[in-house]
Amino acid sequence: MTMQLIARPHDSAFKGFMSKVDNARDFFEIYLPNRIKPLCNLDTLKLASASFIDKTLRSRFSDMLYSVQTLKGKGYFYLLVEHQSTPDKLMGWRLMHYAFCAMNQHLQQGNNALPLVVPILFYHGKQSPYPYSQVWTDCFPWADLAYDLYCNPLPLVDVTIASDD
């Protein structure tokens, strides 16, 4: 895999490059987070359907979804190629939205457990480095509160344990 192609790709060239599983495998060998890479058998990497991507976003993004066997069953990599010249401060949310959509698609296919989805942003804009947080809860005005709310157990009102008194 040539790093020059990865550095400033045109959308169609990058999508064509990544549609070849051997190239995608090389990409993930380099860019997949180190804590996740040993859990995946990249020899089982396959392109998967990403039909959940919004049609209006398709004109702005090149979406690639891959499935891979992991130590705990099937998992997914979701790769979103950002090809705007200006960064998007809501990209963290957008990536999480797509990850949730991939999880939902997995459940709709009859699976009964959520897969891990690894969203990866491939950024090639003019501004360097990428200026916005990739933590999706940082997209909220009260980022600390959003993190606390969405990364901890959700509030529960369990009337089955309430006393009748």
The per-residue pLDDT for 14 is 77
The per-residue pLDDT for 81 is 57
How far is residue 73's CA from residue 113's CA, in Å, rounded to a whole number? 10
**CA-to-CA dists, residue 68 to 43, 46, 137, 156, angstroms:** 8, 6, 27, 35
Residue 6: which residues within 8 A CB-CB, separation 6 or more? Answer: 14, 27, 122
Decide: 140 and 153 in contact? Cβ < 8 Å: no
How far is residue 106's CA from residue 113's CA, in Å, rounded to a whole number? 8
Residue 77: which residues within 8 A CB-CB, separation 6 or more? Answer: 28, 32, 65, 66, 67, 68, 117, 118, 120
The per-residue pLDDT for 141 is 97
Cis check: omega of the bond before 129, within 30 degrees of 0:
yes
Q: Please report where in the chains the tokens 């993004």 appear, as a residue.
A: 61
- Per-residue pLDDT tens, the chain, 165 aa: give them: 444 444 444 567 777 888 899 999 999 999 999 999 998 899 999 888 766 555 554 544 456 788 888 887 777 766 665 556 578 999 999 889 888 888 888 888 898 888 888 888 888 888 899 999 999 999 999 999 999 999 999 999 999 997 776
In tens, the pLDDT along 68-77 reads 888 877 777 6
The per-residue pLDDT for 69 is 87
